[in-house]
Amino acid sequence: MLLSIASAAISLVIVFLVVSLLCTTAQEFVAGLFSMRAKTLEATLEKMLDDEERTGLVDQFYAHPLIKSLAPSGRLPSYIPKDQFAMAIHDMLTRNRALQVGNVLPVFRILMKEAGGDEAAFKKSVESWFDASMERAGGWYKRQTQRIILALGLVIAIGFNIYAMRIATTVASAPSAIQTNVMDEAKRLAAQTNAQANLDTLTRLQIPFGWTKDYRVAGDAGRWTSDWLIAWIVAVAGWSMTALAASLGSQFWFGILVRFVNIRSAGEKPEEAKVKAG
């Protein structure tokens, strides 16, 4: 009984780990394809330099040699080191390059006043300001990423017909050999430094997923019958649960997996000692 419950729970953790890894890979591809990091950075700089109307200040900043060198020709950088940001701003101030726009000059006046005219202290203040702004931008980007991962998780869950309730009930009622394989795979994965699992892992463990005849949502139930409707409601709920779980991230599920394995191992030690003593 305990093996059935533990294997069902751990099979779900492994499934959520696999789906979250797939989502992360897909999200990184989407982020690169649409230059999401660069666009988030650009939007942040527009706010920082009070140039959301693009009157020329942000464009001049990107054209500065220290910044222009951070990305291939024709593209915007996705990351700017804080020291290069501070040096570029200081150089633009020194050369008086259009920093009279909007409320930008008062911001730098305040920072210069706090620095007491010390250039090194001024650069440090600009770096701190930049760090604070990037921290907020990181929060925006993370929320945007989570929304994308949630959407990708739903696509993957539906595309591969991976829904949680069926997996848990199937593994819980599976032969003990399959349940033992799930526990052994959990130990193997937990022993890794970084989680490495894919759909082959689920196939090897005989975890039910896919759109084969055996795993059709409503089976042989007639369309629009009560059984058919209930089956689809359960499936949609299961896909949604899988997507929500995947949005928590692979590191979260890897940590849960490691804790599961450690707790179970700790529970087995007295029994192992007893066997050895016998």
pLDDT in tens, 130-159: 999 999 999 999 999 999 999 999 999 999
pLDDT at residue 37 greater than cutoff 90: yes
Burial class (CB in 10 A: 0-12, 13-18, 19+), 215: middle
276 or 189, which is more confident? 189
Phi, psi of 76 (to 5 degrees): -95, 150
* pLDDT-wise least confident of 77-91, 96-110, 124-138: 96-110
Average pLDDT in the 78-97 region? 85
216 or 171, which is more confident? 171
Q: Which two tokens stand for residue 19?
A: 């789906």
Residues 104-132: tens digit of each pLDDT: 557 777 887 888 878 889 889 999 999 99
Distances (CA, A) of 212 to 49, 209, 219, 222: 56, 8, 10, 18
Q: What is the pLDDT of residue 219?
A: 67
Residues 59-69: tens digit of each pLDDT: 989 999 999 99
Residues 248-278: tens digit of each pLDDT: 999 999 999 999 888 877 655 444 444 334 4
Q: Which two tokens stand for residue 7?
A: 């294997």
Average pLDDT in the 8-17 region? 92
pLDDT at residue 212 greater than cutoff 90: no
For residue 186, give every residue at least 6 positions away whose Cβ sits within 8 Å of its Cβ, in sequence order, or none: 10, 13, 14, 257, 260, 261
Q: Which two tokens stand for residue 185?
A: 């795979």
Q: Where are the domains of the chain?
A: 2-30+157-277, 35-149
Q: Mark out the alpha helices in the chain (DSSP H runs).
A: 2-33, 36-48, 57-63, 65-68, 82-94, 104-115, 119-159, 164-172, 176-190, 199-204, 226-246, 250-277
Q: What is the pLDDT of residue 224?
A: 76
Phi, psi of 265 (to 5 degrees): -65, -40
